[in-house]
């Protein structure tokens, strides 16, 4: 039977017009991997309806896999998150102008582990010659929150659905803008910036493509047993 891999990204935020997670989700929308087809969607960077937005997509598409993507400024490689904590602490405002500190879900479990086969996914990305690593913290902004909402909801409503989160680096164009802004403003020495790592968008797309392919193959192998 046809299966769905739901991949979500976020729009630009924090004064950034672009977000590689949105570009990757849009690029992979409609791609097929065996019996699995990707549905790629871009979400607004707002906390007040984040849960409703991701649950709405899950309810409509009933995916076998939910892979959420987000930007990690300064990250040097593809970063696979192991867990989502039930805690938010925004260091910047979301795109609605709001900040928040407190639980992602009141009285919810302290954390949820990713339900993706992370070791296999990591190996699939590395086999493509793309640097990647596992991470024990998805942060305290909306990336962590959407991972938590997804895992919490699917654990009760779609327990067979595997869910996880992947952080992506800046695109080179974003770092070029940062360098230009740093040179123009002359408020910070270039060597002091810790957020200048980047990865070509096509490389990021290929990394997430490898992840989707691995997850689709894993689904098929489970069904054939």
Looking at the annotation, which residues are catalytic? Answer: 81, 143, 167
Whether the CB-CB separation of 206 and 20 falls below 8 Å is answered with no
User: Do 13 and 143 contact (CB within 8 A), yes or no?
Assistant: no
Count CB neighbours of 122 within 10 A: 18
Total residues belonging to the chain: 225
Q: Cβ contacts of residue 218 below 8 Å, gap of 6+? A: 117, 120
Q: What is the 3-state secondary structure (H, E, C) of 145-194?
A: HHHHHHHHHHHHHCCCCEEEEEEECECHHHHHHHHHHHHHHCCCCHHHCC
What would the DSSP string read from start to end of 108-146?
A: --SEEE--S-HHHHHHHHHHTT--EEEES---SSHHHHH
């Amino acid at each position: 039977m046809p299966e769905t891999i739901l991949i979500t990204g976020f729009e630009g935020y924090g004064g950034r017009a672009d977000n590689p997670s949105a570009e990757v989700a849009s690029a992979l929308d409609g791609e097929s991997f065996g019996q699995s087809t990707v549905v790629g969607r871009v979400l607004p960077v707002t906390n007040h309806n984040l849960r409703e937005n991701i649950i709405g997509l899950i309810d409509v598409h009933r995916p076998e896999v939910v892979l959420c993507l987000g930007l990690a400024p300064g990250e040097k490689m593809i970063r696979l998150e192991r867990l989502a904590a039930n805690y938010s602490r925004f260091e910047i405002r979301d795109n609605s102008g709001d900040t928040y500190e407190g639980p992602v879900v009141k009285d919810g479990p302290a954390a949820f582990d990713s339900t993706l086969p992370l070791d296999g996914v990591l190996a699939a990305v590395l086999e493509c010659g793309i640097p990647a690593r596992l991470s024990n913290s998805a942060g305290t902004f909306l990336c962590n929150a959407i991972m938590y909402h997804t895992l919490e909801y699917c654990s009760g409503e779609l327990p067979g659905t595997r869910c996880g989160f992947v952080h992506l680096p800046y695109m080179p164009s974003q770092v070029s803008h940062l360098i230009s802004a740093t040179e123009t403003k002359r408020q910070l020495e270039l060597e002091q910036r810790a957020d200048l790592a980047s990865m070509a968008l096509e490389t990021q797309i290929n990394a997430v493509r490898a992840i989707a392919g691995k997850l689709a193959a894993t689904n098929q192998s489970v069904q054939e047993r």
